[in-house]
């Protein structure tokens, strides 16, 4: 699987993602500038990643301007053809703004930027993974009808939890509705999550749980 990482003005986790994929997961990575359009070097067996950061300074609304970058039009087409797309943190916000994923990311409930290790529960097997977060607008929100559809279709991939895997308000770092930390589309080829798996893939950081996240998304 080949990976493309889209770089927007204000992206600051693009190199972290590149390093994790190349050096920790031994993957081939191409960096993609947001003003370009060409994705012809990728097949639907490959993956495009929208990294974390502050695309376009988070002006107007997080991800709202990045959504109109030329490369995003190609990413939308790529996803609609079945190609895998992963958005992390700001990338998750871009996916929601572009309509590739439902819902929106709002300001954290406590109105403060949060940067720390948290635990997220893999809905498929109930296992708790330790993954860092770093965001000011990470509160996942959607109307009840959409939330119920996500639940019914098993599109909720991760929820914030405690170390033992228990879902509770104390383990929720941003007030996300139903403790949602990551979701996917109905076709299960577009994924978005607020925590940063690329920051948990090396023994140097004392955490390898991020590798399991990429495995869950079929990107191992």
Enumerate domains of the chain plus CATH numbers. Answer: 2-216 (3.40.50.880)
Q: From the CB of residue 143, how many other CB atoms can be counted at a distance below 10 Å?
A: 11
Nearest by Cα to 138 from 89, 100, 94, 183: 89
Mean of pLDDT values over 175-201:
98
| pLDDT score of 38 more than 90 | yes
Look over the chain and give the mean of its residue pLDDT values, rounded to a whole number. Answer: 96
| pLDDT score of 58 more than 90 | yes
Three-state SS for 149?
helix
Residue 115: pLDDT band by 50, 70, 90 thresholds?
very high
User: Given this model, what pLDDT does residue 218 score?
Assistant: 84
List the catalytic residues.
Answer: 89, 196, 198
User: Given this model, what pLDDT does residue 220 score?
Assistant: 66
Mean of pLDDT values over 157-179:
97
Mean of pLDDT values over 74-83:
98
- CB-based contacts of 7, cutoff 8 Å, min separation 6: 14, 31, 32, 33, 34, 51
Mean of pLDDT values over 29-53:
97
Mean of pLDDT values over 37-59:
96
In angstroms, the CA 118 to CA 145 distance is 28
174 close to 194: Cβ distance less than 8 angstroms: yes
Residue 121's DSSP bridge partners are 128, 159
């Amino acid at each position: 699987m080949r990976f493309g990482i889209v770089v927007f003005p204000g992206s600051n986790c693009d190199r972290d993602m590149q390093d994790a994929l190349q050096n920790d997961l031994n993957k081939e990575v191409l960096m993609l500038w947001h003003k370009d359009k060409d994705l012809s070097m990728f097949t639907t067996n490959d993956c495009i990643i929208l990294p974390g950061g502050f695309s376009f300074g988070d002006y107007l609304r997080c991800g709202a301007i990045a959504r109109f970058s030329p490369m995003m039009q190609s990413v939308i087409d790529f996803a609609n053809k079945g190609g895998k797309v992963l958005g992390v943190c700001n990338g998750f916000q871009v996916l929601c703004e572009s309509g590739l994923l439902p819902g929106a990311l709002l300001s954290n409930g406590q109105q403060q930027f949060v940067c720390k290790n948290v635990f997220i529960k893999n809905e498929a097997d109930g296992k708790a993974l330790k993954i860092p977060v770093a965001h000011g607008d990470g509160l996942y929100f959607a109307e009840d009808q959409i939330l119920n559809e996500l639940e019914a279709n098993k599109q909720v991939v991760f929820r914030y939890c405690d170390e033992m895997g228990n879902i509770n308000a104390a383990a929720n770092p941003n007030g996300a509705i139903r403790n949602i930390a990551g979701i996917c589309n109905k076709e299960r080829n577009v994924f978005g999550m607020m925590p940063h798996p690329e920051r948990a893939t090396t023994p140097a950081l004392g955490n390898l749980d991020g590798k399991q996240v990429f495995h869950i998304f079929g990107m191992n």
